[in-house]
Structure 1
Amino acid sequence: MAYRRADLVVLGIGVMIGAGIFSLAGRQAATMAGPGVILSFMIAGITSLLVAFCVAELSSAMPASGSAYTFTYVIFGEVWAWVVGWALVMELLLAAATVARAWSLYAAQMLTDFGVRLPDVVAGMVGRHTGFDLFTLFILVILTIVVALGARVGLRALWIIVIAKLLAVGAVIVVGALHFDRRNLAAIPVPPVPAEKAEEALHSPLLGIVFGQTGAFGWFGIFAASAVITFAYIGFDVVATAAEEAEDAPRSIPQGIIRALVITTVIYIAVALVMVGMTPYDRIDTDAPLADAFRDAGEGFMVHVINIGAVLGLTTVVLVLLVGLTRVLFSMARDGLIPRSLSKINRSYHSPTRATLVIGFLAILLAEFVDVFTLEPLVVIGALFVFISVAGGVIRMRQTMPNLPRGFRTPLSPGVPIASIAACLWLMVNLQLITWVYFIIWMAFGVLVYLVYGRRNSVLAGMAQSAPEAPAPSAGPPGPPEGPGGPGTGSRGRHRR
C-alpha cells in the first residue's frame, strides 16, 4: 500500500491548490464577477462539498481504481460508464495540459523576476501562451516519468512541494491582510455590463442568453464566475482513484476527500478576500493578479514568494492529475473498453507504466499544439457532468444495493445527492454557450468510439459471446486478479463474491 490517511489529504490539496489561487480568482474578478468573486468561490465550494459527500460514499463502498468511472460501471452499467469515463478523460487530460502551460508562464516569470537571463535561442520558446513551449514539455516529461516509476516516488515529492506551497499561500494571506481595504468590497454585485457584439453572445453564459443578459458582472456574472471557478476545485475526486493503493480505503478515502476539500475551500476564500480587498476589481491585472497587487502595495518581495508558490503549486496539480487519469485509463482498459494492453502492471514499479506513458504523450501533444487556455471551461463542464452521475449513483445504489457495506454514508440522503445534481446543473447552465457546443461534439465522438471499438471488445461482450445464455453480472465485469495496489484489490471482484 502506498497512501495513508494523511497522504490522501495531501494528495487532494496537491491537486486543488494551484490555478485557483494564483490566476483564476483575479481573472474572474476583473472580467466577470468583480469583488463578488468571493461569493463565486463560496458557491463553487459548497457545490463541490455536496458532491464530495456523494463521492465519499461511493468510494467507501467500491474502493477501486477508476473513481467515477468504476462507480458508474457497477451502478448503471457499461454504456453509461463509458460516457462518464470519456468525460473524465477529457476533463483530466485537458486540465493537465492547461496547468502545464500555466506552469511554464509562472516559471518563466520567476526566472525573469530573479534576473536570470536565458539564452536567446531558449528565451523565445518558454513562457508562451500558444505554440511550442520548452518549459511545458519539460514539466510534462519529468512528471510523467515520476508517475511511471510508481506512486511512492511521486508521494515523497508531493509532501515536500505541498508543504512549501502552503507556506507561500500562508504568507500571501498574512501579508495581504495588512493592506486590506474593505471599501473595495462595497460594489457587490457590480452593475451588469451588456455585450456589444453578436459574437460575444457565443462566449456568454447559457443562462444569461436565455434571460437576455450576454455581458458580464451583476448576479449573472457572479454565478458565471462560480461555474468557471469550479476549475479550481476539480481534483478532489481524483483522490478516489488511489483507492486500490490506500490503507483502509473504505474509511481513509472519504476522510481524505472531505478534509482536503474543506481545507482548500477555506484557503481559496481567504486568498480571494485578500486579493479583492487589496486592489479594486477594475485595476486587477488579469495576467498576474496577485503579484501586481503586492507590487502596488509596496511588497515587492512577495512577488518572488508568489512565483515560487505558483510553480510549486501547479507542479503538484499536474502530478496528481496525471496519477488520476492514469488510474482511470487503467480501469477502462481492464474492462476492455480501450486496448487491454494499457492495463498491464509493471512488475518492477507496481504501476500501470504503459498507461502513464500514453497519458503523458497525449498531454504533451495537447499542450503544445492546441490553445488549451481557450478550452479551459471544457474541464469544468466535463467535471460537472461526472459529478451529476456520481450523485445519481448514490440515489440508485441506496435502492438497488441497500445492504452493500459502506465506510461512509452521505448525510440526509437523498436530499444531499439531489441538491448536488441541482447545483451542478445550475453551474453548467452558467457556462458559455461555446463550451456546450464543444462538449456535445466531444461526447458525440465518444459515443462513436464506443460503438466502433468499446462495445465489441469489452469484457461483457466477451462474456456474452462465450456464454450467451448466462445473464451479465450486476456488479460489473471481472477484472484480472492483480491491480495497481497488488493482488486481489479490485473491489468489483470482492463484491461479486
Structure 2
Amino acid sequence: MKLNLLRKESIDRYLATDKGFIKSLGAKDLLAMGIGAVIGTGIFILPGTVAATTAGPGVTLSFLVAAIVCGLCSMCYAELSSSIPVAGSAYSYGNLLFGEIIGWILGWALILEYMLSVAAVSSGWAAYFNALLNSIGLSIPHALTNAFNPYEGTYFNLMAAVSVLLIALLLSRGLKESMKINNIAVILKIIIIFIFVGVGLFFIKPANYHPFLPFGTNGIFHGATTVFFAFLGFDCVSASAAEVKNPKRNMPIGIIGTLLIAAVLYMAVSIILTGMIHFNKLNVANPVAFALRQVNQGWLADLLSLGALVGMTTMMISMTYSSSRLVYSIGRDGLLPKSLGKIDENGLPKNALWLVTLIIVLMGGFFSLDELTHLVSIGTLLAFAFVSFGVLLLRRRKDLPKPSFRVPFYPVLPIISGLACVGMMCFLPINTFIFAAIWFGLGLIIYLGYGYHHSKINVRE
C-alpha cells in the first residue's frame, strides 16, 4: 500500500465531531486562561537572574523584544483560530493545512510541551507547599518529598502527584466551574504583582539603572532568547476554540490580549526590580523576594510565596486542560485509540483528561525533569514556526472559513515570525536536539505502526 503522509483532514468533520463540546468560554475566560499559563513563578525569578547575568537593567528591553517575537506568533495563532475554531490547536491546523504527518509531529511536540510543563511545575508547587507546611511545624515523610532517588532517600513526590490530581478533579467537574476558580486565582496573582510594583516604586534608586546596558546591545538580544520562554503557554488558548462562544471575536482577543498583558507585567516587574537593587546582586534563587528583604519589606516577600503557589496552580489548570483537549483531538482523528476521542454527556473528554493526569502524575512523582525542560522549548518553537507559515497556506484555501482577524503586512510578518522561531531554536543546546530526535523518532514509530492505519481519513479514502 502506497503511503500518503500528506493527506489532509476535513474542516467539516472537525466541526461536526467537536459539536459535543459546550460553548461556555468568553473573552475574559480566555484571557484568564492565557495569563494563567504564561505568568507563573518565572515573573519573580527571570527579571533578576537575566539582569544579573545577561542584560543588566536592559532586561526590560529583552522582555520587549521577546514579546514582539511572541506577538507575531500570537497574531498568526489568532488568524488560524478565528478561521478554524476546532480543538487541538497547532495539531489540528497542521492536519488541515500541511497534511497528517505534519499534524502528528506538531501534536507529538505539543504533548511533550503541555505534559512536561505541568509535571515540572507540579514539582515546584510541591516544594513551595512542603516549605509552607514546615513553616507551621508540619511535614510529610522525607521519602515522599521528591522524585525517585534512593541515594537521597526519596522515592516519590507525593504533593506533586496530589496537586495534579486536584487539578484534574476540578477540571472533571466541568469547564465553567473550573474557569470560575481559575479566573479568581489569576486576579489574585495579578493583585500580588501590582502590590509589588506599587510598593517597589518607593524604593527605586535611579543610580541602580547605570549602566543601563552593561553587556551592550548584544546583552538585550541574548537576554531576549532567554526570557522568550517566559511567554510560552499563550498557545494553549487556541486549544479551547471548540468551547468558545463567538470564536471569531473572542479567540483573537484571548490570544493577543494574553501577550499584551503578560508583556506589560513582565516589563513592570523588571523596571521596579532593577531600580530597587543593583543588577549585579540579583543572581539569586528568588531575586524579587531578595530585593524586598533588602529594603525591609519581608511581609511582601512572604506574600510572594502565596503568589507563586497561585501562579503555579493557574498554569497547571491551563496546561492540563490543553493537554486533555490535544489528546482528545488526536483520538478524535483515530491516530490514538478512539476512546480518547469521546466526549461525555457533560461535554468533557474525560478519558483523555484522566490519561493525561496519570502520565503527568507519574512524570512529576517519579522523575527529575531538569534535563528535559529544554524539550518544552523545541516542541513549542516548532509548533510556532508551522503556525506562522500556516497563515500563508490558509490565505490560499477557498474551502476554509474566512478569518475574522488577519495578520497585518501579509506575507511579510508571518514569514518573519516563522523565521524568528527557527532562529530561536538555533540557540538551544545540542543535547536538546538529541533528546528531540529520540522523542520524535518514537512518535513516528507510533504513527506509522498505529496512527496511519487507524486514521479516520482512511474511512473516506
TM-score, normalised to structure 2, is 0.89
Alignment partners' CA distance in 2, 1:127 and 1:270: 34
- What does 1:261-280 correspond to in 2, within 5 Å? 261-280=259-278
Identity %: 33
**8 Å contact from structure 2 (residues 114, 323) kept in 1:** yes
1:172 aligns with 2:196: yes
Written as runs of structure 1 = structure 2, the 5 A alignment for 1:198-213 is: none
One-letter code aligned to 2:50: Q
Determine the structure 1 residue equivalent to 2:83.
61
Structure 2 unmatched ranges of 5 or more: 1-22
CA distance in 1, matches of 2:47, 2:371: 17
Name 1:117's counterpart in structure 2.
137
Q: CA deviation at 1:11?
A: 1.4
Q: 2:181 is matched with which residue? A: 157
Q: Is the 8 A contact 1:387 1:421 kept in 2?
A: yes
Structure 1 equivalent of residue 421 of structure 2: 424
What SS is found at the alignment partner of 2:45? Answer: helix
1:84–1:386 contact (8 Å) kept in structure 2 = yes
Q: Does 1:444 align with 2:448?
A: no
Q: Output the amino acid matched with 1:303.
A: A
1:118 partner amino acid: L
- Which amino acid is the alignment partner of residue 421 of structure 2? C
Greater shift, 123-132 or 155-164, is seen at 123-132
Where 2:285 maps in the other structure, the secondary structure is coil
Matched positions, count: 434
Q: Which amino acid aligns with 2:200?
A: G
How big is the shift at 1:37? 2.7
2:404 to 404, 407, 411: 407
- Contact 1:97/1:367 (8 A) holds in 2: yes
Q: 1:134, CA displacement in angstroms?
A: 2.4
The answer to which of 65-74 and 273-282 deviates more is: 273-282
Structure 1 residues 415-465: Cα deviation after superposition (integer angstroms, max 9, x where no partner): 11011012212221122222222222222221222111111111123433x
- In structure 2, relative to structure 1, the CA distance for the partners of 1:221 and 1:400 (3 Å cut) is same
Q: CA deviation at 1:221?
A: 5.5
Residue pairs, 1:175-324, within 5 angstroms = 175-191=199-215, 222-324=220-322
How big is the shift at 1:49? 0.6
> Which residue type is aligned with residue 162 of structure 1?
V
Matched, 1:48 2:47: no
Q: Does the CA-based 8 Å contact 2:148-2:367 persist in structure 1?
A: no
Partner of 1:94: 116
Q: Distance in 2 between matches of 1:126 and 1:302?
A: 27
Cα deviation for residue 403 of structure 1 reads 7.0
Kept in 2: contact 1:19–1:232 (CA 8 A): no
Maintained 8 Å contact 2:146/2:365 = no
Work out the CA distance in 1 between the residues paired with 2:393 and 2:138. 57
Are the counterparts in 2 of residues 20 and 231 from structure 1 also a CA contact under 8 Å? Answer: no
Contact 2:147 2:368 in 1 (8 A): no
Q: Evaluate the alpha carbon distance shift between residue 431 and residue 180 of structure 1 in structure 2; reply closer, same or farther with a 3 A threshold.
A: farther
Give deviations 1:390-434, integer Å, cap 9, x for gaps: 011001111233873211111111111011012212221122222
Segments of structure 1 that go 5 or more residues without pairing to the other structure are 192-217, 465-497
C-alpha change, 1:440 and 1:178, in structure 2 (3 Å) is farther
1:375 to 372, 377, 397: 372
C-alpha contact (below 8 Å) 1:228/1:431 kept by paired residues: no
C-alpha contact 1:144 1:357 (8 A) present in aligned 2: yes
Q: What's the CA shift string for 1:67-99, capped at 9, x where partnerless?
A: 111111111111110011111111111111111
Q: Which amino acid aligns with 1:159?
A: N
**Which of 340, 352, 356 is 2:338 aligned to?**
340
Aligned AA (1:287): A
Describe the shift of the 1:403–1:99 C-alpha distance in structure 2 as closer, same or farther (beyond 3 A). Answer: closer
- Give the structure-1-normalised TM-score: 0.82
Q: Which amino acid aligns with 2:168?
A: T
| Contact 1:240-1:253 at 8 Å conserved across structures | yes
Moved more, 327-336 or 276-285: 276-285
RMSD between aligned alpha carbons? 2.1
SS at match of 1:178: helix
Bigger drift between 270-279 and 127-136 goes to 127-136
Shift of 1:31: 4.1
Give the match for residue 202 of structure 1: none
Query: Could you say which residue in structure 2 is the equivalent of 1:137?
Result: 161
Cα offset for 1:10?
Answer: 1.4
The residue aligned with 1:474 is none
Asked if 1:454 is matched to 2:448, the reply is: no
Please state whether the residue corresponding to 1:251 is helix, strand or coil.
helix
Deviation at 1:65, TM superposition (A): 0.6
| Counterpart for residue 396 of structure 1 | 393
SS at match of 2:409: coil
- CA distance in 1 between partners of 2:333 and 2:359 (Å): 21
Whole-angstrom CA distance in 2 between matches of 1:237 and 1:333: 20
Among 4, 13, 16, the residue aligned to 2:38: 16
Task: Give the Cα–Cα distance (whole angstroms) in 1 for the partners of residues 191 and 211 of structure 2.
Answer: 31
Map Cα deviations across residues 90-118 of structure 1 (whole Å, 9 max, x no partner): 11111111111122223334445xx3111
What is the rounded CA distance, in whole Å, between the counterparts of 2:70 and 2:172 in structure 1?
29
Query: What CA distance in whole angstroms lies between the structure 1 residues aligned with 2:280 and 2:129?
Result: 26
Q: Is the 8 A contact 2:146 2:157 kept in 1?
A: yes
Change over 3 Å in CA distance of 1:11–1:275 after alignment to 2: same
Q: What is the rounded CA distance, in whole Å, between the counterparts of 2:141 and 2:367 in structure 1?
A: 21
CA distance in 2, matches of 1:378, 1:26: 24
Q: Is the 8 A contact 2:53 2:283 kept in 1?
A: no
Counterpart contact for 1:29–1:37, Cα < 8 Å: yes
In 2 relative to 1, CA 124–38 (structure 1 residues): closer, same or farther, beyond 3 Å? farther
Give, in whole Å, the separation in 1 of the partners of 2:77 and 2:266: 21
Change beyond 3 A, Cα 1:49–1:98: same
Native 8 Å contact 2:84 2:400 kept in 1: no
Match of 2:59 among 13, 26, 37: 37
